[in-house]
Amino acid sequence: MAIGSKDLTSAELRGLDEDRLVEELRKAKAELFNLRFQSATGQLESHGRLRAVRKDIARIYTEMRERELGIGGTGA
């Protein structure tokens, strides 16, 4: 599963445990930071990657919140 690619789907996120979700979120935020830094210095090659990583972060937060509320999937 790769951050910022179509591999990170909601169905796959539902299969992950809480610790793994937190780890994926940490990696996605770190990648977003690096992409923003590259964008600011003019070194970013693919601007679409920023959007994809932001969407992945949103998917992870959504899955975490659904588990918190006990909605769908494998709630906690």
Domain span at residue 25?
Answer: 10-69
Give the model's pLDDT for residue 37.
Answer: 96
Domains in the chain: how many in total? 1
Is residue 37 domain-resident?
yes
Is residue 74 domain-resident?
no
Give the model's pLDDT for residue 75.
Answer: 47
pLDDT digits (tens, 9 = 90+) for 26-65: 999 999 999 999 999 999 999 999 999 999 999 999 999 9
Give the model's pLDDT for residue 36.
Answer: 96
Is residue 1 domain-resident?
no
Is residue 62 domain-resident?
yes
Place of tokens 């937060």: 61
Is residue 29 domain-resident?
yes
Is residue 52 domain-resident?
yes
Give the model's pLDDT for residue 1.
Answer: 56
CATH number at residue 42: 1.10.287.310
Is residue 16 domain-resident?
yes
